[in-house]
Amino acid sequence: MSESIVTKKAIAEGFKGLMAKKPFEKITISDITSVCGLNRQTFYYHFQDKYELLNWIFYNEAITPFINDLSFDNWSERLLQMLKTIKSNSRFYANAMNTSYGAEFKDYMHKVSTNVFIDVIENIANGKTIAEDDKKFIAEFFSYGIIGSMVSWVTNGMKEPPEVIISHIENLVNDCKRLAVSRYMNS
């Protein structure tokens, strides 16, 4: 692992520790560098600001493991892993969701999951034609439901285990997907 990655991870861990104790808006670069034992120049060499650091953490801990080799067959396993990651750092992620970046994270996850559901719809259609607008509508509907449920789970304290959330989501998706797709198929 490169020295740059090691330093970024150290900065991220220090930042996550701070976010478990105080709101994002109250954390300064001086707080971050102090807890990490680094100087400001080192921080700025790796990150433009604390928003970029927050983005880097989300992307490397939650999003990348979710989207790497994401497929129709493994989406629920990947989502479960993401929820476990979020739950294991619950104070950090709950605090992060309440920042201005929380909206960017939700938008990004919505785009990713919409693309997954488009693939699901095409797979279920089994060669039959579905209008692109209809396919997009169905995919966005499920995406908003899943991401909204995930965000609600985080902002309400993550009381249920991730497995329970995934079970609910899988049941709804499996029960609805064939009905929704068949309704929009052209005969």
Q: Return the CATH number at 18.
A: 1.10.10.60
Range of the domain at 55: 50-184
Residues contacting residue 127 through CB under 8 Å, at least 6 positions apart = none
Residue 114 has pLDDT above 50, yes or no: yes
Which residue(s) pair with 185 in the sheet? Answer: 130
Tokens representing residue 58 in the block = 């989300």
Task: For residue 11, give Cα distances in angstroms to 14, 29, 81, 84, 111.
Answer: 5, 10, 23, 22, 28
Quick one: pLDDT at residue 178?
63
Q: Assess contact for 29 and 40: CB atoms under 8 A.
A: yes
Which amino acid would we find at residue 175?
A: D
Which whole-number Å values give the CA distances from 187 to 78, 120, 139, 165, 182, in the listed order?
A: 34, 19, 20, 35, 10
Average pLDDT over residues 168-173: 85
Dist CA 151 CA 162 (whole Å): 12
Number of domains, the chain: 2
Residues paired with residue 32 on neighbouring β-strands, in sequence order = none
Between 170 and 7, name the one with better pLDDT: 7
Same domain, 8 and 55: no
pLDDT at 183: 66
With pLDDT > 70 as the criterion, what percentage of the chain qualifies?
Answer: 94
Quick one: what percent of the chain has pLDDT higher than 90?
Answer: 37
CATH number, domain containing residue 158 = 1.10.357.10
Task: List the alpha helices (DSSP H) in 38-74.
Answer: 40-46, 50-57, 64-67
Q: Which residue has the tokens 């693309």?
A: 115
Asked whether residue 82 falls in the same domain as residue 43, the answer is: no
> Does position 184 have pLDDT exceeding 60, yes or no?
no
Q: 79 with 155, same domain?
A: yes
Q: Are residues 33 and 66 in the same domain?
A: no
Indicate the average pLDDT of the chain.
Answer: 86
**pLDDT value at 19 more than 70:** yes
Taking residues 109-120, report their average pLDDT: 81
* The token pair that represents 50 in the structure block: 């604390």
- Contacts with 151 (C-beta within 8 Å, 6 or more apart), sequence order: 97, 102, 106
In whole angstroms, what is the distance from residue 182 CA to residue 130 CA?
9
Query: Would you state the pLDDT for residue 187?
Result: 46
Choose from 64-68, 87-91, 159-163 the range with maximum mean pLDDT.
159-163
Q: Summarize pLDDT for 24-80 with one digit per residue, the tens.
A: 889 999 999 999 999 999 999 999 999 899 889 988 888 888 778 777 778 889 889
CA separation for the pair 62, 180 (Å, rounded) = 29
Is the predicted pLDDT of residue 186 greater than 80, yes or no?
A: no
Q: Which residue has the tokens 């989501």?
A: 169
pTM: 0.78
